[in-house]
Amino acid sequence: DTAVSQTPKYLVTQMGNDKSIKCEQNLGHDTMYWYKQDSKKFLKIMFSYNNKELIINETVPNRFSPKSPDKAHLNLHINSLELGDSAVYFCASSRRLAGSTDTQYFGPGTRLTVL
Amino acid sequence: GESVGLHLPTLSVQEGDNSIINCAYSNSASDYFIWYKQESGKGPQFIIDIRSNMDKRQGQRVTVLLNKTVKHLSLQIAATQPGDSAVYFCAEIEARGYSTLTFGKGTMLLVSP
């Protein structure tokens, strides 16, 4: 039973395209996140959603638009992809709001390569 | 020994040795700290945590030490096994409001049989 799942695992696309990454958690958590991990393994928060509402947006370009249809899903849509968007994107969830001490559970990641 | 590679600091140890991974954190207001393990091709996985009112916490084969005076965190792994090979991250957070988890740079642990 996968707690936090993401699709696709790999995504290769051309510059300028629009793509989406999907995330689902079956833990019953209220809070979900998107993180970006660059080629040097540096991991940085992008967004946080609590009960389908955007809580945190860490100065991410507005080409990135998260959407939460329900609290078990947080999808990431990226418009006009750029070379610098190439990275591994991780979805995570926690029981309560960011800023609590609840453990964040991470998905397996989506490796995005922009050519 | 410990060395700084092109991308990540790397710690190479022999199976059965004890490993110590260090982390300097940046925010003196952080009051909750976590160590995550990331295996190749996978997401980070929680290992152990510690609150700022403690200076030591032990788990199974792992111990986390916190020195708030110098803003330093360490992860000790006893009897390191090949399955411990991974990238290890420390993370910090102010446990209030809408604060976010801030990850450290990461250290790659390589365990030789």
The pLDDT tens digits for A22-52 are: 999 999 999 999 999 999 999 999 999 988 8
Give me the residue from B8, B41, B100 closest to A98, CB to CB: B100
Long-range contacts of B46-49 (CB under 8 A, 24+ apart): B46/A103, B46/A104, B46/A105, B47/B75, B47/B88, B48/B75, B49/A101, B49/A103
Q: Please judge whether B32 and A101 are an interchain contact, meaning their C-beta atoms are less than 8 angstroms apart.
A: yes
Q: Which residue among B44, B46, B100 sits closest to A56, beta carbon to beta carbon?
A: B100
Cα separation, B33 vs B72, in Å, equals 11
From A42's Cα to the closest Cα of chain B, the distance in A is 6
CA distance A22 to chain B (A): 15
Span B24-76, pLDDT tens digits: 998 999 999 999 999 999 999 999 999 999 999 999 999 999 999 999 999 99
Contact residues of B toward A, CB < 8 A? 7-8, 32, 34, 36, 38, 41-46, 49, 51, 87, 89, 93-103, 105-106
* Residues of A whose CB is below 8 A from B4: none
Q: pLDDT > 90: what percent of chain B?
A: 81
Contact B103 A105 (CB under 8 A): no
Ranges under pLDDT 70 in chain A: 1-2, 98-99
CA distance B76 to chain A (A): 20
DSSP letter (8 states) at residue A98: B
B98 pLDDT more than 80: no
HSE, CB side, 13 Å, CA atoms: give it for residue A53: 7
What confidence score (pLDDT) does residue A98 get?
64
Whether B103 sits inside 8 A of A42 (CB atoms) is yes
Q: Name the CA radius of gyration of chain A, rounded.
A: 13
